[in-house]
Amino acid sequence: MKIDYGNKSALRELGVLYATQQKVDLALEKLEQAVEKGEQDLDMFSLMADLYVEKKEFTKAILLLKRAQTIDPDNINLAMDLADLYGKQGYTPEAIEQYHRLLLKNPNDPDAWSSLGFLYLQIEKDDDAIRCFEKSFEYGNDDPNAHCELGYLYFKNKKYDLAEKEYEESIFLNPNNVVSHYRLASLYFLLEKLDFALEEYKRVIQLDCNNAEAHGKLGAIYYKKNMLDAAMIEYESAFSLGYNNSDDHNILGHLYMKKNRIYESINHFQASVMGDSLNARKRKDLGMSYIFINQHKNAIEELKKVIRLGLDGADIRRALSVALEASGNIGEAIKEIGKAIEMDPNSALNYNLRGKAYAQQGMTNLAIREYEKSISLEPNNQLAHSYLGKAYLQKGLYDEAVKVLEKVVNLAQQYGVGDAQTLANTYCDLGTIYIKLKNLNFAFKYFEEALKFDLKMPDANRGIGECYFHMGNLDYAVKYLERAVTYDPKNARGFAILGQVYEKVKKLNMAIQAYKKAIFLDPQYGEYYFLLGSLYFKFGKPDIAQQELLKSLRYNKNQPEAELLLGQIYTAAGKYTEAIEHLEIAISLNKDDLKYYRSLIEAYYKADALERGISKLEDFINRAEHSSIKTELTEYLRLIKKKLEEKKKTGISRVFSTFVFKDNK
């Protein structure tokens, strides 16, 4: 058949043919040619509009429908198509105008009312949208999505009964409508109908297992119902799917904290703060959680922000104090815990913390006062008794320390172990006291009790090693002391005692290294310098020994043995003035040991000032407080004078010096 391409009707027919064959471009080409030749056919314009929609050339489609509308202004289907196309392209005012034109011609058209409702919903004209949806249902519309949207509009207007009815109708018409189930669940959640909400959210997940919001809301419901493990599972699912809710991040952070999953807890507290940065309560949770992982700088920063945001309280100041103390800012820590006490003067814990801070500053008397205040508020407070006992121990008040520390043990036996670490530390402190009291059996017993809590407890191993050292069982002493410093490489006392054991078994270089390690770990503890200085003296290195002994006295002036050794070093070096000065200090610190007086007499003798030494000795005898040392000194003075007379007669000084100065070292 030969086509007359100059015939507009023929061109139109050919275009229609191409359209039926899905040859869109050819169809449009022929139809456009027909239009150019003057073809004015309503169906042709509608077909062309459909083809342009298929090519996503919506503006051309709209122009063709408007052109078609000029041919048949009353065509309802044409108006519906044009309104629908306007709506899909976001030309909402034009779409609304078309639907109104439709409704003027057919006011009972449910689809037009429904579509108009959706358009009003888009531009947030809620009252108009409600009116249109209600009209659509009045005229027979049964679109489940329309019922769902009307329910949402009622929900926004707090007409919850009507909202519930519309959601249920939507679900009745389409049981698999995820949005309707979700919105109904959210309504139940708001109304605290948790069991109903639970079932609806479960239904949402059945229909859409990757619905993060539904998992999140299920987590919130389980949390409200105190089903914490189930809540955690749902929250984890929600966040893994991209859920991001500040409040729920905070809740999951607390759930992880209860499970001691600290780092995961902090991650969610951080996410919670990122989503709500001005929420002081959430920042407080984050700041306090940092303390658990020793990120004290971060804790301080967050807790100070909390206070600046206007949230303050004893618990916040207390936490800030703990972080400051741990970071070495003891002065600031004391100020903050003082503020906590002002806010809550009846908290035993606050006084405990201030006492602990005072103790770190060396203010032991103030620390004792705070611990006693804590105990007055909570007489059965094991921790306060433990701290108080340790403070008494530091002051050398051993009887008081034993009394208080045994109270900790009694409280644990009576009320149960409140804190295992506190009780274990108490046993170690008791063991340390009994070592100082030279009651090694009691000391050993208490250290063994501490080991029952933790076989790797450094102080307990150190204590048992020290007991073995004093008992003379050096092999076992080395075994336990080496364990102690392995379990805690920062155990200064463990290294110091291990050095003494090495010294006993003649491993002198190892002893020196152990003493140096103790000094490195605790550079302000005088005894460790004394031990090192004494060993250097035995090594025949008096100059180095002198330096270490002077350091020892810089940190602890109450060391008669250090003063004695320095006096002997100065005597040997011919520095008699310095020797006599240190030896007289040694005697003032320990008046009941004859060896101190022997060293002093030796210094006077070598300084060629024995008469002055004898005069000094007579003065000591007159002021002696104990009869035993007075008797010893009197006999010693008698023998000195006797030997002095013999020297004058014989001229032999060797026998005199050997007798007078023996046993000085």
Does 661 have pLDDT greater than 70?
Answer: no
Side chain identity at residue 328, one-letter code: G
Q: How far apart are CA 532 and CA 554, in angstroms?
A: 15
Closest CA to 384 of 343, 426, 416, 333: 426
Report which DSSP code applies to 416: -
Contact 381, 408 (CB under 8 A): no
- What is the distance between the alpha carbons of residues 25 and 122, in angstroms, rounded to a whole number? 34
Q: Kindly tell me if the per-residue pLDDT of 2 is higher than 60.
A: no
Separation CA 224–CA 294 (nearest Å): 32
Q: Tokens for 468?
A: 């073995």
pTM of the prediction? 0.68
Beta carbons within 10 angstroms of residue 555's beta carbon: 16
Residue ranges of E strands in 24-77:
none
Q: Which residue has the higher pLDDT, 582 or 88?
A: 582
Identify the pLDDT of residue 229.
96
Cα separation of 489 and 294, whole Å? 19
Distance CA 317, CA 336 (A): 6
Q: Report domain extents, the chain.
A: 558-665
Average pLDDT across the chain, whole number: 88
What's the CA gap between 147 and 166, in Å, rounded? 5
Residue 657 confidence (pLDDT): 57
Rounded mean pLDDT of 13-40? Answer: 78
**Under CATH, domain 558-665 is a member of which superfamily?**
Tetratricopeptide repeat domain (1.25.40.10)
**Single-letter amino acid code for the residue at 171:** I
Residues 6+ away with beta carbon under 8 Å from 323? 287, 290, 291, 296, 299, 300, 303
The H or E element that residue 209 is part of is: none
pLDDT digit string (tens) for 315-361? 999 999 999 999 999 999 999 999 999 999 999 999 999 999 999 88
pLDDT of residue 655: 46
Concatenated DSSP letters of 587-653 = HHH-TT-HHHHHHHHHHHHHTT-HHHHHHHHHHHHHH-SSHHHHHHHHHHHHHHHHHHHHHHHH---
495 band by pLDDT with thresholds 50, 70 and 90: very high
115 and 96 Cβ atoms separated by less than 8 Å: no
Q: What does the alpha-carbon distance between residue 505 and residue 475 come to, in Å, rounded to a whole number? A: 9
Instruction: Tell me what the mean pLDDT of segment 267-279 comes to.
Output: 95
Q: Which of 427, 499, 490 is nearest to 464 (CA)?
A: 427
Rounded Cα–Cα distance for residues 467 and 428 (Å):
12
CA atoms of 660 and 665, how far apart (whole Å) = 13
Among 364, 376, 374, 373, which residue's Cα sits nearest to residue 401?
364
Whether the Cβ atoms of residue 65 and residue 78 lie closer than 8 Å to each other = yes
Residue with more model confidence, 574 or 2:
574
DSSP 397-456: -HHHHHHHHHHHHHHHHHH--S-HHHHHHHHHHHHHHHHHTT-HHHHHHHHHHHHHH-TT
Residue pLDDT, tens place only, 179-219:
999 999 999 999 999 999 999 999 999 999 999 999 999 99
Q: Are 89 and 63 in contact (CB under 8 A)?
A: no
Q: How far apart are CA 387 and CA 372, in angstroms?
A: 10
Name which residue leads in pLDDT, 472 or 28. Answer: 472
The whole-number pLDDT of residue 665 equals 43
- Rounded Cα distance between 450 and 418, Å, is 15
Predicted confidence at residue 415, as pLDDT, reads: 76
Instruction: Please tell me the least confidently modeled range out of 400-404, 479-483, 594-598.
Output: 594-598
Identify whether the C-beta of residue 352 lies closer than 8 Å to the C-beta of residue 383: yes
